[in-house]
Amino acid sequence: MRLFLRGQRRTLTIKLPRTSVASALEVARRSAPVRGRRRPRVRLHDDGTVRFRLPGHSRHVPPHFHGRIRQNANRAVLTGQVRESRTEGFLSALFTGLALVMAAVAVACAVSRPLVVPGLVVCGLGAVAFGALSFALRAMRATVFPIEVGELDAALRRYFGAPPSPVPATVCGAEDEGEQPAERA
């Protein structure tokens, strides 16, 4: 397990119901604004570049999409990458670092000649707690990211008027030969 985890990435490809890049951009710009708390943040450029993300909540930052609408044979296709926020990896690395520092202080307290019992207990328990928290955060990153990619895929499809994905958003890591809402990069 690496100390600083690289952000997870997935390639996303969506076949749009329009025949050209310009018409797909026009439909996206005219789409009705989404009401509610989870309103997406969208940037569309004339060259077909798209930036799309769903807003976070509390201290969690969901993944974001950066891609381009391209002309493919007789229809427009949106292709890009979904990237995990850097703060997700930083938090688990921060708690791992705190666990290591507290473990080092606990060892120093244990080796010192006038035994410092309160420091040993506090730092020992703190090291175990921060280590468990770091482990839990790393495990959650692996399970939550595919679910959030599915949510982002569904929001992109609604925004561009594409048909729903053949794979439900709640399925984690579903692999099959058909069109994938989130293929591994």
Specify the DSSP element, H or E, that contains 157.
Answer: helix 117-160
pLDDT tier at 5 (50, 70, 90 boundaries)? low
Per-residue pLDDT of 105-120, as tens digits, reads 999 988 988 888 888 8
Q: Is the pLDDT of residue 75 over 80?
A: yes
Q: Which residue has the tokens 């207990």?
A: 121
Q: Rounded to the nearest 10 degrees, how much is the dihedral formed by the CA atoms of 9, 10, 11, 14?
A: -130
pLDDT tier at 172 (50, 70, 90 boundaries)? very low
Q: How many helices (H) and strands (E) does the chain have?
A: 3, 6
| Ordered alpha helix ranges (H), 8-116 | 21-30, 86-111
Buried/exposed 40-51: b ≥16 CB within 10 Å, e otherwise: bebebeeebebe
More confident residue, 166 or 98: 98
Q: Of all residues in the chain, what percent carry a pLDDT higher than 70?
A: 82
Q: What is the pLDDT of residue 68?
A: 92
pTM confidence score: 0.71
Average pLDDT over every residue of 19-40: 74
Q: Is the pLDDT of residue 103 over 90?
A: yes
> CA distances (Å), 149 to each of 33, 80, 105, 115, 119, in order?
21, 12, 40, 51, 44
Q: Is the pLDDT of residue 1 over 50?
A: no
The strand order across the sheet containing 75-83 reads 41-44, 49-53, 64-72, 75-83, 9-15, 183-184
- The pair of structure tokens assigned to 136 is 């839990």
Q: Is the pLDDT of residue 155 over 50?
A: yes
pLDDT tier at 35 (50, 70, 90 boundaries)? low
Per-residue pLDDT of 54-65, as tens digits, reads 887 766 778 889
- The pair of structure tokens assigned to 152 is 């982002």
Q: How many domains does the chain have?
A: 1
Q: What is the pLDDT of residue 173?
A: 42
For the chain, state the CA radius of gyration. Answer: 22
Q: What is the pLDDT of residue 170?
A: 45
State the Cα–Cα distance between residues 180 and 170, nearest whole angstrom: 13
> The domain containing residue 1 runs over which residues?
1-185
Q: What is the pLDDT of residue 92?
A: 83
Q: What is the pLDDT of residue 129?
A: 95
Q: Is the pLDDT of residue 76 over 80?
A: yes
> CA distances (Å), 122 to each of 10, 99, 105, 110, in order?
41, 12, 10, 12
